[in-house]
Chain A
Amino acid sequence: MSLETPLHKAQGLGASHSGVGHFWRQRVTAVVLIPLSIWFAISLLGLYGAGEAAVLIFLANPLNAVLMGAFLVISLYHMTLGMQEVILDYVPHPGFKFFLMLCNWGFAFALAAAGVISLLIIIPRS
Chain B
Amino acid sequence: MAEDPHKPAVRPLSPFLTVYRWPITMATSIIHRATGVGLAGGLLVLTWWLVAAANGPESYDFFVGLAATALGQLVLFGFAWALAYHLVNGIRHLAWDLGYGFAVKTADRTGILVFVLSLLLAAGIFAAAWSGLGGYYQ
A and B are partners in one complex rather than unrelated chains: yes
Tell me if B40 is interfacial: C-beta within 8 Å of chain A: yes
Interface centre among B33, B50, B83, B136 (most CB of A within 10 A): B50
Is A79 a contact partner of B54 (Cβ separation < 8 A)?
no
Known: A43-B137, A46-B136, A79-B43. A118 touches B36 (CB 8 A): no
Is B137 a contact partner of A50 (Cβ separation < 8 A)?
yes
How many chain A residues touch B (CB < 8 A): the figure is: 38
Known: A49-B129, A49-B135, A52-B61. A118 touches B33 (CB 8 A): no
Tell me if B125 is interfacial: C-beta within 8 Å of chain A: yes
| Interface-lining segment among B21-29, B86-94, B102-110, B111-119 | B86-94
How many chain B residues touch A (CB < 8 A): the figure is: 35
Chain A residues within an 8 Å CB radius of B46 = 72, 115
Closest chain-B Cβ to A90's Cβ sits at a distance in Å of: 10
Is A50 a contact partner of B44 (Cβ separation < 8 A)?
no
Whole-angstrom distance between the alpha carbons of A123 and B125 in the complex? 28
Interface centre among A59, A82, A107, A119 (most CB of B within 10 A): A82
Is B50 a contact partner of A119 (Cβ separation < 8 A)?
yes
Whole-angstrom distance between the alpha carbons of A43 and B46 in the complex? 13
Tell me if A47 is interfacial: C-beta within 8 Å of chain B: yes
Closest chain-B Cβ to A108's Cβ sits at a distance in Å of: 8
Chain A residues within an 8 Å CB radius of B36 = 79, 82-83, 86
Chain B's interface: helix, strand, loop or mixed, by majority? helix
Residue of A nearest to B46 (CB): A72
Which residues of A, 43-70, contact B by the 8 Å Cβ criterion? Answer: 43, 45-52, 54-56, 58-59, 68
Contact with A along B50-91 (1 / 0, CB 8 A): 110111010011001000000000000000100100010011
Is B87 a contact partner of A118 (Cβ separation < 8 A)?
no
Residue of B nearest to A126 (CB): B53
Binding site for B on A (CB under 8 A): 27, 30-31, 33-34, 37, 41, 43, 45-52, 54-56, 58-59, 68, 72, 75-76, 79, 82-83, 86, 107, 111, 114-115, 117-119, 121-122
